[in-house]
């Protein structure tokens, strides 16, 4: 009997890519392939690419080399955003056999008839205007949380962004299918679902193959809150102009949605926001943060910000720095602007030198450390619920509270994928929060007994 073929996956980029990789992986398993770790020898390596940063492009080449070191005869396929934007470029990378664009990636098993190496990567890539249908997906990467895709594509035309070129128009899953997927996930004993998409606040658009919103994001949130078996729901990232007060108020009273918002700002200067063609000014951002703080003072608020955008002067950057410094937020994700082909920003005047971009990035990363520390300090002495994760890191188990405080406690395998009430005690040297149980769980005694039995054995 012929041995089953092995397939391995590597994902670059966002949570949405992770959810789609999982769906693609399940299609291979349905075709009789065994999934193995990317570190292991495999017959096929599939790399899901990203177009957002220069680094992701370089990482792709590194992963191809890594795959071929494990098996120099392996078949290597590239899918995802970069594969849609620059298919010929990826096909020319040494060792790449197949490149699939936005509509083809979910049909990858149809393209793999024979696994012999190609001299040049074979490309199947549509015009992005053809990416007008929706493929639902969700990822189950570990036992504790899953990423559930609810929306894809984007109709916004931010001047720095390639995502509309890579993923096409904004379109959504049906409400019925999202709820079905959520129920499937919860049935697998997964405690937390993270909602993901390119622009999830735009949910509902194109749900029935048109631009009409049959359902809004607010209605989606309301319906998901009723799904039996889900213990936690988290909103991954949502545009400030699409995060409505009704949604914020609903989350504050919700059974399952946690008090954690990640809201892209990109710049604290209205001049730069206009150059970026963002759909709000900084005043709207202030209103959203103030509303969250009004109804959920303990909420965690994360911010995306880009430094070094063309035309960003020292004065503009200081506007951003001071705006964020004064704002009651919890942490920053800082992105250094990098020119992307076929975007208006790439040809704008006022290019910021790379060393200045790096300096500004370093300043905002420092501010992020300060903000996170202040947020954690504000949580000390409170009681929160922690979802424990699966890794043993130097004798500690880690987990996140509902409001995204990272907690560490002494390792006990019985705690993996369980929720417990804890008191937040102090901040450790590594920046994580030490905690103690409100009620010592029974599993703790079992874990100690198991540890002693292991030592005695």
Of 377, 409, 427, which marks where a domain is finished?
377
Tally of structural domains, the chain = 3
User: Which has the higher per-residue pLDDT, 16 or 45?
Assistant: 45
Range of the domain at 166: 137-377
Q: Is residue 247 part of a domain?
A: yes
Residue with tokens 């189950």: 140
User: Are 233 and 342 contained in the same domain?
Assistant: yes
Indicate if 242 and 306 belong to the same structural domain.
yes
Q: What is the CATH number of the domain that holds 181?
A: 3.80.30.20
3-state SS record for 323-358: HHHHCCCCEEEEEECCCCCCCHHHHCCCCCCHHHHH
pLDDT at 113: 64
Question: Can you tell me the mean pLDDT for 430-449?
Answer: 76
For residue 30, pLDDT over 80 is answered with: yes
Would you place residue 449 in the very low, low, confident or very high pLDDT band (cuts 50, 70, 90)? very low
Q: Is the pLDDT of residue 271 over 90?
A: yes
Supply the pLDDT for residue 456.
Answer: 43
Does an H or E element contain 435, and which? strand 433-437
> 3-state class of 150 per DSSP?
coil
Residue 174, both tokens: 């049906």
- Claim to verify: residue 185 and residue 77 sit in the same structural domain: no
**141-145, 149-153, 207-211, 313-317: segment of lowest average pLDDT:** 207-211
Summarised one tens digit per residue, pLDDT across range 166-200 is 888 888 999 999 999 999 999 888 999 999 988 99
Question: Do 259 and 299 form a contact (C-beta atoms < 8 A)?
Answer: yes
pLDDT given for residue 128 in this prediction: 53
- Give the domain-ending residue among 377, 396, 414: 377
Position with higher pLDDT, 444 vs 9? 9
Is 301 inside any structural domain? yes
Distances (CA, A) of 369 to 226, 306, 329, 362, 376: 36, 17, 12, 11, 11
Say yes or no to pLDDT of 18 above 90. Answer: no
The mean pLDDT of 48-60, rounded to a whole number, is: 78
Report the alpha-carbon distance of residue 170 to residue 152 in Å, rounded. Answer: 6
79-88, 171-180, 343-352: least confident range: 79-88
Which tens digit of pLDDT belongs to each residue from 372-384? 999 999 999 999 9
Q: How far is CA 93 from CA 84, 87, 394, in A?
A: 15, 10, 39
Residue 449 covered by a domain: no
Indicate if the pLDDT at residue 454 is higher than 50: no
Rounded Cα distance, 205 and 171, in Å: 5
Question: Which residues have a Cβ under 8 Å from the Cβ of 60 and sit 6 or more positions away?
Answer: 12, 47, 49, 78, 82, 90, 93
Band of residue 457 on the pLDDT scale cut at 50, 70, 90: very low
- The first and second tokens of residue 60, run together, are 């792709």
């Amino acid at each position: 009997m012929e041995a089953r073929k092995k397939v391995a996956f590597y994902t670059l980029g966002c949570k949405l890519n992770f959810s789609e990789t999982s769906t693609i992986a399940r299609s291979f398993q349905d075709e009789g392939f065994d999934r193995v770790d990317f570190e292991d020898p495999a017959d096929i390596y599939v790399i899901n690419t990203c177009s957002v940063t220069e680094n992701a492009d370089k990482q792709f080449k590194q992963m191809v080399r890594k795959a071929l070191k494990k098996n120099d005869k392996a078949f290597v396929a590239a899918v995802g955003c970069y594969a849609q934007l620059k298919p010929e470029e990826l096909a020319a990378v040494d060792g790449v056999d197949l490149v699939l664009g936005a509509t083809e990636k979910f049909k990858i098993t149809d393209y793999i008839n024979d696994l012999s190496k190609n001299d040049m990567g074979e490309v199947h890539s549509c015009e992005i205007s053809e990416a007008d249908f929706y493929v639902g997906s969700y990822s189950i990467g570990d036992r504790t949380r899953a990423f559930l895709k609810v929306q894809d594509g984007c109709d916004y035309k931010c001047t720095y962004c390639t995502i509309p070129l890579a993923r096409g128009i904004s379109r959504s899953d049906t409400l019925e299918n999202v709820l079905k997927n959520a129920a499937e996930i919860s049935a697998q004993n997964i405690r937390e679902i993270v909602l993901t998409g390119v622009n999830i606040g735009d949910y509902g658009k194109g749900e029935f193959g048109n631009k009409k919103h049959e359902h809004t994001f607010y209605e989606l949130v309301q319906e998901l809150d009723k799904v039996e078996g889900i213990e936690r729901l988290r909103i991954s990232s949502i545009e400030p102009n699409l995060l409505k007060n009704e949604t914020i108020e609903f989350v504050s009273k919700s059974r399952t949605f946690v008090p954690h918002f990640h809201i892209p700002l990109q710049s604290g200067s209205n001049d730069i926001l206009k150059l970026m063609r963002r759909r709000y000014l900084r005043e709207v951002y202030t209103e959203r943060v103030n509303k969250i703080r009004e109804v959920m003072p303990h909420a965690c608020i994360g911010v995306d910000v880009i430094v070094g955008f063309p035309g960003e002067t020292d004065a503009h950057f200081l506007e951003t720095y001071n705006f964020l410094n004064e704002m009651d937020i919890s942490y920053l994700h800082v992105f250094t602007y990098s020119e992307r082909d076929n975007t208006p920003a790439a040809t704008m005047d006022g290019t910021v030198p790379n060393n200045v971009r790096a300096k500004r990035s370093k300043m905002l990363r420092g501010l992020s450390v300060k903000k996170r520390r202040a947020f954690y300090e504000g949580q000390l002495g409170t009681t929160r619920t922690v979802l424990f994760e699966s890794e043993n890191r130097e004798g500690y188990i880690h987990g996140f509270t509902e409001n995204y405080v990272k907690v560490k406690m002494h390792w006990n395998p019985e705690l993996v994928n369980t929720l417990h009430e804890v008191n937040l005690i102090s901040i450790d040297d590594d920046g994580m929060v030490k905690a103690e149980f409100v009620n010592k769980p029974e599993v703790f005694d079992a874990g100690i007994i198991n540890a002693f039995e292991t030592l005695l054995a």
